[in-house]
Amino acid sequence: MRHIRLTVEYDGTTLCGWQRQPNGPTVQQHLEEALSKLLSHEVRVRGASRTDAGVHARGQVAVFHTEKTIPLHGIRRGLNSLLPETICVHDVIEVGDDFDPRHSATGKHYRYTILRASTRSPRWRDRAWHHARPLDLDAMRAAAAVLVGEHDFSAFRSVHCAAKTTTRRIQTLDLVEHPEDVLTVEVRGNAFLRNMVRILVGTLVDVGVGRFSVTQVAEILASKDRTRAGLTAPAHGLELVEVRYDGRRVSSGPH
């Protein structure tokens, strides 16, 4: 049995997230249907991150199993000919049978994009959260520093999160300014709770507009109470950039 790892990029705008569900098209569904057609047998795919509807990825990692001898470049070419334009497979490699895209991961990098312009931009409508109110970036950076490290992030997870443990380690949490009033929040950590990145971003934005102080962010973190943290930032601003395995970066080829 061959164990094949895929690195996948997708535009999540019209997708109902990663995980297969009856309510609409998902990345997992498209991959499984394309692979099953290509390999002439039923295929099940597992992914590193169960991204929500509207969330994008350039470095999602997935794995499937097959006994077919089709070469790796043939799998990539065949898959991309069958997948919709919103999904592309960049890398295909064989891995050991002990590889699990989620549990073998040692780190992930997420990017959240905020458009700080006074007027909205059609170009960014599906890729950035338009926030016209001025943001105090110094205060946001000071609050971000409070969140770096290993903590119980119960206050920054969805009420629907079913994780048994809530301690996670954020390695870096950086705010990066770009031209044309674009701000990205770059988050790297060992693992993340459901909606954790979006709630972190929403809370930092609340700091930026003066709703929370840096001291209050520390208190929210210690409280472990979701109701005290900020709003959940919109899904369309979030992108999974890369997944790491023992320090090795796995992200899509052309970026």
The predicted structure's pLDDT at residue 148? 98
The predicted structure's pLDDT at residue 199? 98
Q: Considering the candidates 52, 98, 100, 246, report the single residue annotated as catalytic.
A: 52
The predicted structure's pLDDT at residue 162? 85
The predicted structure's pLDDT at residue 250? 62
Residue 222 neighbours by CB distance under 10 Å = 12
The predicted structure's pLDDT at residue 107? 96
The predicted structure's pLDDT at residue 23? 85
For the chain, the residue count is: 255
Task: Give catalytic status of residue 52 as yes or no.
Answer: yes
- The domains of the chain, with CATH numbers, are 2-103 (3.30.70.580), 107-243 (3.30.70.660)
Tell me, what amino acid is at 3? H
Instruction: Please name which of 59, 58, 53 lies closest in space to residue 14, comparing C-alpha atoms.
Output: 53
Q: Could you tell me the mean pLDDT of each successive run of 10 residues in the chain, 255 residues long? A: 97 96 94 98 97 97 97 97 98 96 96 96 96 97 98 95 94 97 98 97 98 98 97 98 80 49
pTM: 0.94
